Amino acid sequence: MHIETLSEHVCFGGVQGFYRHESQVIGLPMRFSIYQPPQAQHGPVPVLFYLAGLTCTEETFMIKAGAQRFAAQHGIMLVAPDTSPRNTGIADVDKDWDFGTAAGFYVNATQEPWNQHFRMHDYVAHELRELVLAEFPAKTDRIGIFGHSMGGHGALMLGLRHPKIYRSVSAFAPIAAPMQSPWGTKAFEGYLGPDRSSWEAYDATALIEQGAYAADKSTILIDQGLADKHLGLQLLPHLFEAACRAAGQPLNLRMHEGYDHGYYFISSFIEDHIAHHARLLG
């Protein structure tokens, strides 16, 4: 599969790259970024997928999180896809910041016109993963996933739906119960239609309640800022925590005084998340 290199930069002895390819799943060009640690020069390394939040792109995490330093220390490859298809030609696709462009919610849309291109679940879990494993020095059986906000929802959901793919899961300030969140209900109704039963496959709390677990019942790490203005209405980690407790899914939910929803918060705890995945990916 042809990959177009947009730019590459030496970073902590490794290579930070930005790329584009023609996606068969999306039906449009998609951009993604990869950090290859210095260890990748000598053979395959574990790979960690990061899913960004609303309004973000494939660049946001690589520029703002400061993750490359710790990925280089642990020998982990970082992969960040874009957050939605671009240039779809769909009417009003850019009208709302929390739906449409940069707001794919990592679901496979079933409703017109979104189902033409908005198939982010299959793109992340299958096409992009297979592309990375085929074209970059990544270990095929050492894959983890994490994300922030909308991407935290995506990471929890994908990790629970595909425990044989993702051996480690974590999230920063995830939309942890999207069926009970205004952001989530708006996205799910638009992409998936009014039948709420079809939403459950994309709701991490519902998945836990239905018997899903992380790989080997490994601990899920979540960091959440207590000064996050979205905590009470949109993110709802206490609902996910209650579901995990009832189901016996190990969860390390850490609440932090003073931290908000942005990348200053993420960069403060990114070292812990990289170490969490390094332990589980081996």
SS3 of residue 135 by DSSP:
helix
Q: Find the Cα–Cα–Cα–Cα dihedral 155, 157, 159, 161, rounded to 10°.
A: -160
**Alpha carbons 171 and 221: distance in angstroms, whole number:** 6
The answer to whether 134 and 59 have CB atoms below 8 angstroms apart is: no
Catalytic residue selected from 228, 273, 276, 277: 228
Amino acid at 26: I
The answer to whether 152 and 175 have CB atoms below 8 angstroms apart is: yes
**Alpha carbons 48 and 38: distance in angstroms, whole number:** 15
Q: Which of 91, 90, 113, 86 is nearest to 102 (CA)?
A: 86
The answer to whether 38 and 13 have CB atoms below 8 angstroms apart is: yes
The answer to whether 251 and 263 have CB atoms below 8 angstroms apart is: no
Distance, C-alpha 258 to centroid of its chain:
24
Catalytic residue selected from 153, 261, 276, 277: 261
Q: Return the structure tokens found at 19.
A: 């790329």
Catalytic residue selected from 149, 168, 181, 218: 149
The answer to whether 149 is a known catalytic residue is yes
SS3 of residue 223 by DSSP:
strand
Helical spans, DSSP H, in 50-127: 60-64, 68-74, 120-122
Helical spans, DSSP H, in 35-181: 60-64, 68-74, 120-122, 129-135, 150-161
Query: In what helix (H) or strand (E) does residue 204 lie, and over which residues does it extend?
Result: helix 204-209
- Which active-site residues does the annotation give? 149, 228, 261
